[in-house]
Amino acid sequence: QPMHFMHLGADAGLAQGGVMAIVQDRWGFLWLGTEDGLDRYDGYTLQHAIRQRGVAGSLPNNWVAALASDASGRLWIGTDGGGVAWRDPMTGRFVPLRPAAGQPSVSSEEKVRALHLDHDGHLWIATRTAGLVELDVASGRVRRFKHTEADSATLSDDGIFAIAEGRNGALWVGTQRGLDRLDPASGQVARLGSRVGAALGVSGSLQVNAVLEDQQGGLWVGTDAGLAKVEAAGDRIRAYRSKRDASGSLPSDRIQALLEDDARRLWIGTAAGLALFDRHADRFDTYRHEAADPASLPDDYVISLYADRTGLLWIGTKTKGVAKWNPRSWSFGHQLGADPAGTAITAFAEDGKGTLWLGTFGAGLSAIDRRTGTARPYRHQPTDAHSLPDDRVMASLVDHYGTLWVGTMTAGLARLDPGSQAFRAYQTDPADQQSLPANGIMSLLEDTHGNLWVGTYGGGLARFDRARDSFRRYASAPAAGGLSSDRATALAEDQTGKLWVGTDGGGLNLLDPDTGTVVRFAHQRDDTGTLSANTVYAVHVDARGSVWVGTRGGGLDHIIGSARRPETIRFRNYSETDGLANDTVYGIESDSAGRLWLSTNGGLSRFEPDSG
């Protein structure tokens, strides 16, 4: 299946393109370790931490090679040349690791490659040249495990690349010369490198970069010479190698990272792409960077993998930052428009023939045949008066005649003739009061009587008269009882036949189409029963007739009361404190079960009206 990635790189403010380590803390912040400092990502912006010479509480070294987060909220940072530090969540200061008096020292110049917190809360530190260190965080007690040439019960090498904990408490340790199994209780080591190397066809030492014990007890070993799986019983090792031009093989023998997600998908980060193992077919699907596809992997060289608590997969690359993939996208499916550059989808409409119309901000309109998946583009052509008048589509609607209407950012309202495929544009004319009041279109609605309503930017609201091919204007005139704003952002008709008009900065309006009277609702800071914010992005009427309002920064409002008695109306608010992903709500839709789906700055939220 196709994967479509979102990128977080230099253009978003990432410190450096090489993302060595990724972890999420108990508060949900994502931490990214790079070759030039530590970044904290809150879902919107990045905050950067670096070493500041002579400044207490700064990072000990800018090369952040490893990260771990413990149950108390402490973030542990392993650096290449600055040892280990932990971040105080209360002050934000970085505290160098200082063992208790009388204990062996962890050098402040230690070169760290990996960190692991075991089930007892002990921190294991993999170093580049000084073996493996165990730190009892509570007591400060330190043990160091090192290679001894004459003792086969010691580590196979002092260069440690990877640590993984088995289900029985044993530690799997990947070294520069093989794979070891460490029993923490006895301190004894069993070396398995020669067996893994033989399975992969390697004689001599074998560098192990990544180790993972999966949910079924199988041990996956990522090396510089391919991938091996030690079966749970331990009596069989399966080898996977890259085969040039062979479909379904590993993209590269250099394995850098391994991850099994909650759905038991096995992900392999390699030097030539991201591989997904198909357990049933015993093959690999590979995802790479494609120069013509902005939603592809940003870089083929994958060096870190992480699954956060929401199930999102984060992929750290060698040079181009981090990529994010939402596994739920495979549940929903994914369809690109006719122009891959038009990924900012601003409007949807569907006609009775099964065509899905996608409006984009800058790439025009795409007509997608849902049966075949083919897409037809509609773009603005300066030399063609019958083309789409503006490639920035803000709203779209298919009326009960099957006619497509398209609202644009600066070129008015367009109607598509299904036969000729030509657009007829309606634009404002200062000399004609029955023309469109403004050329910026923000919302469209067809009411139960078949009337087409047009919300504009700068001209208020208009109703299209099909018989006269003209518009009746409902202007902004707060002092004269008109609309509270000339920017009509959202429209909905309720069961009484009245129109709810959301505005930009002017709150919410209730319009009686028959009389033209307007009742205005505004946010009042000291009254929690009023509208939560004065900019409204969405208004929705569900199957029960309830009216829901999506605002900018105020969350979701439920209107309590009836449009027949507007003086009694109050608002019940739902916000981030109630579990909403974000307090800016752009769109609201109902499903067949009566649940509400909300598009927000923080992603998609599902709301249960009955339980709140």
- Separation in Å, CA 159 to CA 140, 255, 476: 24, 17, 72
Q: Are 28 and 9 in contact (CB under 8 A)?
A: no
Strand ranges in 128-271 using DSSP code E only, listed in sequence order? 132-136, 142-145, 160-165, 171-175, 178-182, 189-191, 208-213, 219-223, 226-230, 237-240, 255-260, 266-270
Residues of the chain with pLDDT under 70: 99-105, 331-343, 612
Which amino acid appears at position 16 of this protein?
Q
CA–CA separation, 503 and 460 (whole Å): 9
What pLDDT score does 557 carry?
97
Structure tokens at 4: 């479509």
Q: For residues 100 and 269, give the distance between their C-alpha atoms in angstroms, rounded to a whole number.
A: 38
Q: Could you tell me the CA-to-CA distances from 74 to 24, 84, 91, 123, 308 in Å, in that order?
A: 11, 13, 11, 12, 17
Handedness of CA 184, 185, 188, 189 (dihedral sign): negative
pLDDT at residue 172, as a whole number: 97
CA distance 604 to 178: 45
Say which amino acid occupies 204.
Answer: G
pLDDT of residue 342: 42
Calpha distance 26→72 (Å, rounded): 8
Q: Which two tokens stand for residue 352?
A: 């009775």
Measured at the alpha carbon of residue 326, what is the angle toward residues 322 and 329, in degrees to the nearest 5?
Answer: 140
pLDDT at residue 34 in the model: 96
What pLDDT is stored for residue 102 in this prediction? 59
Convert the pLDDT of each residue in 566-586 to its tens digit.
999 999 999 988 888 888 999
- DSSP H/E element including 18: none
* Cα 587 from Cα 574, distance rounded (Å): 15
The CATH code of domain 345-535+556-566 reads 2.130.10.10
- C-alpha 476/C-alpha 483 separation (Å) is 4
Exposure string over 416-434, b if 16+ CB within 10 A, otherwise e: beeeeeebebbebeeeeee
pLDDT tens-digit map of 34-78:
999 999 999 889 999 998 888 899 999 999 999 999 988 899 999
Q: Any bridge partners for residue 314, and if so which?
A: 306, 324
Which helix (H) or strand (E) segment holds residue 368: the answer is strand 365-369
- What pLDDT is stored for residue 73 in this prediction? 87
519: exposed, middle or buried (C-beta count within 10 Å: 0-12, 13-18, 19+)?
Answer: middle
Name the residue ranges covered by the structural domains of the chain. 345-535+556-566
Give the tokens for residue 388. Answer: 């789409």
Q: 487 Cβ partners below 8 Å, 6+ apart?
A: 442, 456, 457, 458, 503, 504, 505, 506
